[in-house]
Chain A
Amino acid sequence: MSVHLEHEWLERYARGELDQARSFSVEAHLPACEPCRAAIAGLVDAGRLSRTWDAIDLAIDAPVPGPVERLLRRAGVPEPTARLLALTPSLRPSWLLAVAVVLAFGAVAADWRGETGLMAFLLVAPLLPLAGVAVAYGPHVDPAHEVAVAAPAGTLRVLLLRTVAVVVATTTLAAVAAATLPGFEWTAAAWLVPSLGLTLAALGLATSTGAAAACAVVAATWVCAVLAAWRVGDDPLTAFGSFGQLACLLAALAGAALVIARRDTFETRSQA
């Protein structure tokens, strides 16, 4: 460009004192003219520009949030919470895919083997959120665990947050699988209360043993109880009758009570 802007115009423009028509000229000229850009660069607060550059420099090095985190952020979840949730090992796509495969096998079994197959589905469905919770938080499964322990967020809060997310995700998948079962009726939903009971019971136990061990104990108890009920009642679905549902509800309440009563132990256990 052969014609350049008068320096006085640039000075007045930088101070916001140039009239509109001349500002139009300045703004149309600047993006493409290196000498005038260089001239106006000296009129902008250098400290301000270098602060902005420092922020850019930092942001380039920051990791780009993954799709889960971006989705959560868009849904209005605050950034720290979104980051905590997105890092949950049992919310990774590979984990959820595994859950979906297990549920599909359960649904197929229910289709082929009638009541025995349905029992297999109902037995497995509550174990899935439990397994998710077992690996949701802890020194052996979470690469960010030490950071999380050192963070000013309570361990219990992190654990509950992730538990809720895992339970919602797996329960949604299980509900979809149950809805595809042949001859869908109430029995197909009989896993709902047990999954709540198992998860809360495991959380309650986790106050004294750590999440992974608590989940293992609860899972083993669940499997034994369902098989024993089958033996005693001579019906594969005995454990899912009204008595079984009530027992699961009581387990849920007991687990919740334990968590509330012993919430402080999470802070001290988390270093284990």
Chain B
Amino acid sequence: MSADSDRDLLAAVAAGDRRALRALYDRHAPWLTLRLQRRCGDPDRVDDAVQDTFLAVWRGAARWDGTGEVGAWIWGIGIRRLIDSLRRQGPREPLPASSAVAPSAEEAVLEGVEYGDLAGTLNRLSPELRAVVQATILDDLTTKEAGRLLGIPAGTVKTRMLRARAQMREELLS
């Protein structure tokens, strides 16, 4: 494992060093692939998005503004490429919201110990509500982008977010 930081690698990519791009790819493509895979069930589409992402990194490395983590920047490109690709496909069936498995009763008890009730509350949200929480909070998408990713109108994203918030609040306060 080379000791270069992500920032050094990105600077080298901006200077046209293809080996630096390869190093960045080896570091970031695996988790990016897995994370996008959890948001889109079509592996070919995910691979295309990963490919587009690193092409964008290659062509746009010089435009990185230097704030924040390189990994977060790459994620921002990747999820938007995936959304673009989903949007080109046109209207579609909403995906079954993530493949997350419901935790066993034993795990649910352990969770309460590990994190307080927050994790349990999150896991008890219905899949549609969880998908919206994930897209807007964790993936840092706008309402519109989240709607495109999940295949639902932006207005639905907003109402589901309100319902998720209300449900979590009620559970945490009761």
Contact = CB atoms under 8 A, between A and B. Distances in A.
Interface of A: 13-14, 16-24, 27-28, 30-32, 34, 37-38, 40-41, 43-44, 48-49, 51-53, 55-57, 59-60
B47 A48 contact: yes
The 8 closest A-B pairs by CB, nearest first: A31-B71, A21-B119, A41-B30, A20-B100, A44-B30, A16-B99, A30-B31, A21-B122
Contacts of B99: 16-17
11 contacts: A20-B98, A24-B122, A24-B138, A31-B31, A32-B72, A37-B27, A37-B28, A48-B33, A52-B29, A52-B50, A55-B51
A23 B38 contact: yes
Interface in B16-61: 18, 21-22, 25-31, 33-35, 37-38, 43, 47, 50-51, 54-55, 58
Contacts of B74: 31
B134 A24 contact: yes
Interface in B118-156: 118-120, 122-123, 125, 130, 134, 138
Contacts of A48: 33, 43, 47
A32 B5 CA distance: 11
A30 B22 contact: no
B22 A44 contact: no
B66 to A, nearest CB: 15
Given A31-B69, A49-B29, A52-B29, A20 B51 contact: no
Contacts of A14: 34
Given A19-B100, A19-B103, A23-B38, A32 B122 contact: no
A251 to B, nearest CB: 45
Given A16-B37, A24-B138, A37-B30, 8 more contacts: A16-B38, A19-B103, A20-B134, A24-B122, A31-B28, A41-B27, A43-B30, A48-B43
B110 to A, nearest CB: 11
Interface of B: 1, 18, 21-22, 25-31, 33-35, 37-38, 43, 47, 50-51, 54-55, 58, 69, 71-72, 74-75, 98-103, 107, 111, 115, 118-120, 122-123, 125, 130, 134, 138
B33 A31 contact: no
A27 B137 CA distance: 12
Contact of A34 (B18, B27, B130): B27
A56 B54 contact: yes
A17 B101 contact: yes
Contacts of B43: 48
B55 A32 contact: no
B28 A59 contact: no
A17 B35 CA distance: 13
A53 B22 contact: yes
Contacts of B30: 37, 40-41, 43-44, 49
Given A27-B138, A32-B71, A52 B51 contact: yes
Contact of B33 (A13, A19, A44, A56): A44
A47 to B, nearest CB: 11
Nearest to A16: B99
A196 B101 CA distance: 67
A21 B102 contact: no
